[in-house]
Amino acid sequence: MPTHADSRCTAFDGARRLAQGTLAEVAVAVARAESRAAAGPLLVFDDETGAVIDVDTRGTEADVAARHAPRAPEPRGPGRPKLGVVAREVTLLPRHWEWLAAQPGGASVALRKLVEEARRRDDSTERARRAREAAYRVMHAIAGDRPHFEEASRALFAADRATFRAKIARWPKDIREHLDQLAFEGSAPSESL
């Protein structure tokens, strides 16, 4: 999964949360930790996807920050660049094309409206699913060998926050807090970990 330079990230030095912020900010913190001979392993995660991000810490802090800073968007080709419209092929049955053609604005407008409506309807469920998957990726990478990992994983995917918290209660505080934040970001806050 590609990570964008403006994504929110978190770095860990072993079980200690080292830094949170943009990729450039976190990469600089990792470079500093490397220069101090960090305990390690040093891992950087994309907070949205849970993917491990490789950072290039060569050079000065300014070099590291510049290398991981957001870049200007590349110019788009023909089309409707202000809207970001992308042309792709859609294959439908004749009755679907007939229905779309009869809609106000034509097929493109109708399809965009249908997609937006579906996104609004499923947004919270989908966002919760992606958050649990991201938390699992991080949990597997930094806590896969910790006690009760399997039970915590089952509770995570069952969206059982109380059981999840109970199973990770003896894990290091920074790991517990980060996993809970990733997995249950949209949940109402409850007692501290």
91-132 per-position pLDDT tens digit: 888 898 888 889 888 888 888 888 888 777 767 788 889 999
Q: At what angle do helices 149-157 and 106-143 cross, to 10 degrees?
A: 160
Same domain, 148 and 111: yes
Instruction: Specify the range with the lowest mean pLDDT, choosing from 68-77, 150-159, 181-190.
Output: 181-190
Same-domain status, 35 and 99: no
SS3 187: coil
61 assigned to some structural domain? yes
Looking at the structure, tell me whether residues 64 and 98 fall in a common domain.
Answer: no
Do residue 35 and residue 105 come from a single domain? Answer: no
Q: Is the pLDDT of residue 55 over 60?
A: yes
Residue 173 or 127, more confident:
173
Clarify whether residues 102 and 63 are in a common domain: no
Please check whether residue 164 lies inside any domain of the structure: yes
Q: What is the pLDDT of residue 71?
A: 79
- Does one domain contain both 136 and 178? yes
For residue 130, being part of any structural domain is answered with yes
Average pLDDT, the chain: 86
57 & 103 share domain: no
Write out the residue range of the structural domain in which residue 118 sits.
94-183
Cα–Cα distance list, 107 to 11, 53, 80, 94, 104 (Å): 45, 40, 16, 13, 8
Count the domains in the chain.
2
What is the model's pLDDT at position 118?
A: 79
Q: With respect to residue 1, please indicate whether it lies within any of the assigned structural domains.
A: no
Same domain, 158 and 109: yes
Each residue of 125-158: pLDDT tens digit?
A: 888 899 999 999 999 999 999 999 999 999 999 9
Q: What pLDDT sits at residue 77?
A: 62
| 191 occurs within a structural domain | no
Q: Are residues 120 and 171 in the same domain?
A: yes
Question: What pLDDT score does 190 carry?
Answer: 45
Q: Is the model's pLDDT at 27 over the cut of 90? A: yes
What's the confidence (pLDDT) of residue 109? 87
Q: Are residues 21 and 59 in the same domain?
A: yes
pLDDT band at 172 (very low <50, low <70, confident <90, very high): very high
